[in-house]
Chains A and B, each alone.
Chain A
Amino acid sequence: MSAADNKNSSYITDKEVSFKFDGKKYIGYEGDTIASALLRNNVRLVARSFKYHRPRGIYTCGIEEPNGIVQILNEHNEPNTRATVKQIYEGIRVSSQNCWPSLNLDIGSINNLLSPMFSAGFYYKTFMGPKGFWKRIYEPIIRRTAGLGKPPKEFRSKSIHQNHNVDIVIIGGGLSGLITARKLINTQYDVLLLEQDSFLGGILKNSKKIKRINNKEPNEWINETEKLIKDSKNIKILKNSLVTSYNFTNHLIALEDKSVGKKIDNNKSELTLHKIRTKHTILANGHIERFISFRNNDLPGVMLAASFEKYIHRYGVVPETSPVIFTNNSTTASLLKSLVDLGHKPAAYVDSRSKDKIGRKFLNYLEKNNIPFYINAEVEGCDGNKKIKTISIKKSNKIIKVKSSMLCISGGINPDIHLFTQSKGLVKWDDKLVTFKPDVSFQNTITLGSVSGNYNYEKTVEEINNKLSFFKTKNIKLKIELNDISNFNIKELWETKHERKSNWSKSFIDLHNDVTTKDLKQAVREGFDRIEHLKRFTTNSMGTDQGKISSINSLGIVSKILKKKISEVGTTTYRPPYAPLSFSAIAGRNTYEFYDPQRKTPIHNWHIENKAVFEDVGQWKRPWYFKKFEMESMHLAVQRESEQTRKTAGILDGSTLGKIEIKGKDSLEFMNLIYTNAFTKMKPMSSRYALMLGEDGMIKDDGIVCKFNDKHFIVTTTSGGAPKVLADMEEYLQTEWPHLQVYVNSITEQFSTFNISGPKSRDIVSKVFTDVDFSNENFPFMTFKVFDYMDTEVRIMRASFTGELGYEIYITPNKALELWKKIFHFGKAYDLVAYGTETMHLLRAEKGYVVIGQETDGTVTPLDLNFNWMIGKKKKDFIGKRSLTRSDTSRDDRKQLVGIIPIDKSEFIEEGQHVVESERLPKRITTPVEYLGHVSSSYHSPNLNHCIAMAMIKGGNKLMGSKLFVSSTYGTKNIPVEVVSPVFIDPENKRLLS
């Protein structure tokens, strides 16, 4: 009445392995999965169910397992691992999931008695009120009690990715897969054979259904085949590789587990994600057995018959020497024979089929071996506490009780059509096999063996030769002898009739998500009669097992309720992945610093030494502000930096600024088309602030254009916008103006840029570049000079983003740090300060300069920013020109850029707040409060000693001087503000042009 060993198993070795489950030590053998090792130790209770916390045991022997899902404690707390797949190794520590305080005594199991509350769709029906309860009470409780394992605390990168380009992929190394591979040995085709297990053989290893192949023992034949494949030049085998998705253009994703049965090594990748492109995909991935619903069909001890057989032959463990077998089809005969051959005697054999279907030969066998059997009978249900005690068999309305601790069930077998339907192939209902099987493939997909609905092993070779006849290969000849000669036959049976005994009694359709057959009926009654709706309402087949053993059953039950054919009910959509895979497998090496590369300027280390706090701008790391001393706050640092810059001088590392070089004989024409400004009359060696629009007239980017001559320009772009601007330029050159001879090239990283500004900046640069005349007459605003310096070429442009006298210095990056230090050497006498992006933003806001992406958001035209002067109206065309006169862009009440200051100078305006007309909300709101606009930038100006802000306000130009209000996150009143010009400092440009 308990587990026994099958010493004939070829797979398990004698080497003992100790492991811990829920803190208790057990011994298994090398090669055991957690499940087979637990069964070997007579451990039946392994988990608690998702919703009702019912006791659950191992149900299957593979990827389809709905119950045996565990947490691996010593692998960084890896959750939701299938006990039926994961192999044990010395020292593995496993714990059960979803139970508290322990697996044996789980308080959550009270849910089972409260089950009327948790019927189908209970999430949507209960927990509706009172307001706020969902977030604070219901959700935290549900999240704690329902569900799976606990996530690992840290994310680990543990996989690498590998690409393959082959002619043929064979999925599955079972009987059909191996025959196909043999057929393709030493042909012209490049072949990849993928097997999810750590060994080849499939059905040959899982059962004793096949006696001999070519007069050889199956194991001998497998070894011979494997050697032939390994010796061939064109076929590669990948074991432990599970195909998880089948995408368009024969693109497959397979996950290889390289740490099967081994302790994980943190320095090595555990997984390889194979990305495979193939011309032909051969699906030989077999079938999955399905279950039958009856009363308490989830009790520990219920197991699928084929899985039971797998434990015997693969892992050499007989989970129970006298189980009850309940079936509706012919596949279970081999399990019964295996038990008898090992000297065990099943407690009963229950078959829902009639005498004719079972066949005289098998009945004689049962009689001869003295096995109690019941035909035309069903299992009504089973009872027991955390383990089966008695099984009730119903035959002609009589209930017969049989004592056994295990019940092997088989409701038929389903071709594993997941991958086939993922590939967009169509399936068809087969009345004889009572299941869906592949019909029309959409891609170059061939199905072979049981996945194609061919359950007759003797015909496999013929099928393979027929379906693969278009390959340039020879026909293969093999003789397959069976132990089990009966042809497949089945009687349709989805659920047995049973009496409701108590609230505890349930007949499950989805073990993983705790969906009962009653839930299906209720859902249909409530109008969810479409299978896709029904699935989502009941969560049927939505667990991590994706209903592999039960989804066809639910279609069967629903079709009976709806009185429709199953083919009319249809299936739900099969979506990748076939089985869960961890995020780290998908991420591969793209994690942390490899996920998004960091770009650093040549001055980066100097910034670190000088206590810079960094800000991410796209991929760039830019200094946000510099701390003078460790405790200095950002506010103090920014106030200090900006005050000093206006007083003497400040310098900004602007190396991140995008730079694009434009060359070619038609450069001038191209520039005139791309930017709004007119460049024709612009003098060589001068520069200009320029705008770039989209065809819709909205501002896309800005920058400074340097004109060397009509055939050579250099433009700057915003730090984040550089790749897009270059791509847009290339697009227009290739698609709209291929006749223009223009070459564009990114030179962002070829030049480092420093912006030095402030009243003393001229004094400083004159000391650094002693050969250059920086006087106002010889170096006026918006001009530039190129000269040799430090054995390289330096370009200096007089421009300013602060409103002060300023210079932009461009130099090759490998000389940049040297020059930066030199500037500081000479700047010391003038208290030169390094400033970051926050001070840059403050200084430009004081001067009323806009930042693209802060004042603008893709809905702002140059006219909205009062940039009329930047538009070359006389130009025939430029991108977005026509859109500036559209009815929408020429409206008066568009949001326009204005400055705002609080009337009470001690108040502070927050960025992003709304601008409205009234100080308070009316007591009763009858109409919506009118929104006039929003605050786009706001700073405390150290130079004016009050808050300055920029806002985009409807019809703002006409509202100059008026009083409006700005909402705030603190206080109950809105802040009264005055609308002013956005230029707060030096409106006459005296400082700029000094």
Chain B
Amino acid sequence: MILINCPYCGERDQSEFSNGGEAHVARPENSENLNDKEWGQYVFYRDNPKGIFYERWVHSHGCRKWFNAVRNTSTDEILAIYKLNENPPSKESFTNTLKTPSGEPKVGSGNFTVKK
């Protein structure tokens, strides 16, 4: 269970929050001008990377506010939290701080416990 720092309430247990998937996917304003493929991209396609991921959270059992977070999906570390109207931190600012439990490969979910 991870700890999430709600920008409005402070640090709370993960069980108070709900995840809202990838962040910064804006709803197209002029959807009538989009073809099926472009519209389908918005409705159905989301990224699911291993590593740095910008995602949305809502404090559903708290203040009910939405906010954004940057999470390392391979370690569950939350690297940054910012409000909806704030600019997202650049990806480069995290690459040096990344640590994985065991120098895992870029793809897959290798569960290594022994240092090689």
Contacts and interface: CB of A to CB of B under 8 A. Distances in A.
A and B: bona fide binding partners: yes
Interface in A67-89: none
Interface in A726-751: 727, 730-731, 734-736, 738
B60 to A, nearest CB: 7
A427 B115 contact: yes
A571 B114 contact: yes
A428 B116 CA distance: 8
A881 B101 contact: no
B76 interface: yes
A390 B31 CA distance: 86
A734 B113 contact: no
Given A424-B101, A426-B113, A730-B64, A735 B39 contact: no
Nearest to B103: A426
A421 B113 CA distance: 7
Most buried by A among B40, B44, B84: B40
A426 B101 contact: yes
Given A248-B76, A882-B39, A877 B113 contact: no
Contact of A247 (B1, B75, B115): B1
Nearest to A425: B101
Interface in B83-103: 84-85, 99, 101-102
B115 A883 contact: no
Nearest to B28: A882
B80 interface: no
A459 to B, nearest CB: 23
A428 B64 contact: no
A696 B44 contact: yes
A249 B114 contact: no
A246 B59 CA distance: 25
Contact of A574 (B56, B102, B113): B113
Most buried by A among B28, B76, B101: B101
B94 to A, nearest CB: 17
Given A735-B56, A738-B84, A426 B114 contact: yes
Contacts of B39: 882-883, 886
Contacts of A436: 114
A695 interface: yes
Contacts of A247: 1
A674 to B, nearest CB: 13
Nearest to A421: B113
A847 B3 CA distance: 52
Interface in B59-92: 60, 64-66, 75-76, 84-85
Given A428-B115, A571-B113, A696-B44, A251 B58 contact: no
B93 to A, nearest CB: 21
A247 B15 CA distance: 14
A883 B84 contact: no
Nearest to A420: B113
B48 interface: no
Contacts of A730: 64
Nearest to B102: A426
Contacts of A770: none
B84 A734 contact: yes
Interface string B1-27: 111000000000000000010000011
A760 interface: no
Given A426-B115, A730-B64, A731-B58, A442 B101 contact: yes
Contact of A570 (B56, B85, B114): B114
A251 B1 contact: yes
Interface in A246-289: 247-249, 251, 277
B36 A424 contact: no
B56 to A, nearest CB: 7
Interface in A382-440: 421, 424-429, 436, 439-440
A727 B102 contact: no
A587 B115 CA distance: 36
B32 interface: yes
Contacts of A775: none
A567 interface: yes
Given A248-B1, A882-B32, A696 B43 contact: yes
Given A727-B60, A886-B36, A427 B114 contact: yes
A573 interface: yes
B112 interface: yes
Nearest to B20: A731
A886 B58 CA distance: 30
Contact of B115 (A440, A574, A727, A887): A440
A249 B32 contact: no
B39 to A, nearest CB: 5
A201 B103 CA distance: 38
A248 B101 contact: no
A567 B60 contact: no
A442 B101 CA distance: 6
A736 B42 CA distance: 14
Nearest to B101: A424
Contact of B114 (A428, A881, A887): A428
A696 B36 CA distance: 12
Contacts of B20: 731
Contacts of A734: 65-66, 84
A426 B112 contact: yes
Contacts of A570: 112-114
Contacts of A877: 31
Shortest Cβ-Cβ A-B pairs, 8 listed: A882-B31, A424-B101, A426-B115, A249-B3, A734-B66, A570-B114, A573-B111, A428-B115
Given A251-B1, A426-B101, 16 more contacts: A248-B2, A277-B3, A421-B113, A425-B101, A427-B113, A427-B114, A428-B114, A428-B115, A436-B114, A570-B114, A695-B43, A696-B44, A734-B66, A734-B84, A735-B84, A736-B26
Interface of B: 1-3, 20, 26-28, 31-32, 34, 36, 39-40, 42-44, 56, 58, 60, 64-66, 75-76, 84-85, 99, 101-102, 111-115
